Amino acid sequence: MENALYLIPVTLGDTEYSKVLPAYNLEIIKQIKIFIVENIKSAKRFLARIENSHVDDGMFFELSEHTDVKDIQHYLDPILKGEPIGVLSEAGCPAVADPGADIVAIAQKKNIKVVPLVGPNSMIMAVMGSGFSGQSFAFNGYLPVKPGDRANKLKMLESRAYKEDQTQLFIETPYRNAQLFDTVIKCCRPETKLCVAAGITTDQEFIKTKTVAQWKKDGLPEMKKVPAIFAIYK
């Protein structure tokens, strides 16, 4: 096994890992004893599902959005001593819209080999299932909370979708999915296409594309507790 920083995807929800993660990933995980994780509790829960992983005797460093970058400079020291390290996000691929990007940046500066492993990514899978442009797309994260600012941001993203032929993706906290949906319906053109991709790879998976006018007529299914990606396109 190479001495490197391994970026290890995890499942999106409680999906059986064998359905979405290659066997190669599992073999890598079993050989790693040091992990940099977004949340220690959820990381251990994931590792506990994998036979012969080092969930009990492993070393865990936490790296969340609240971690000061100054505090993580020493996280990669074990690699310099010959110990490979794994990076785990709370869901999906680490370092993509994820705090793990900070440790990858440090690894690159220190000329440490970075090895991204294959696994589920809700943004990419939402684009795949939407029918929208996969040639040019942008993930915009969370939209502003204030109604006026949110509406302005949505109109700007919609304008970009038309002018630049670019798919625009964004998210919201699951319990506010309905509010975001309502804002899109109110602010976007009737002919604009909206894809709602929720619970990807889980038993609750729902991926549907309609025009804003069609969504306004049909409404949104109940999905208060289901993580979702929203995408708009011309």
Q: Tell me the domains of the chain and their CATH numbers.
A: 5-116 (3.40.1010.10), 122-233 (3.30.950.10)
Per-residue pLDDT reduced to its tens digit, 23-75: 999 999 999 999 999 999 999 999 998 888 898 888 999 998 889 888 898 99
Per-residue pLDDT reduced to its tens digit, 76-92: 999 999 999 999 999 99
Whole-model pTM: value is 0.89
Cβ-count burial 147-183 (b if 16+ within 10 Å, e if not)? eeebbebbeebbebbeeeebbbbbbbeeeebeebbeb
Q: What confidence score (pLDDT) does residue 104 get?
A: 97
Per-residue pLDDT reduced to its tens digit, 24-38: 999 999 999 999 999
d(C-alpha 88, C-alpha 92), whole Å? 9
Residues linked to residue 34 through DSSP beta bridges, in sequence order: 59, 85
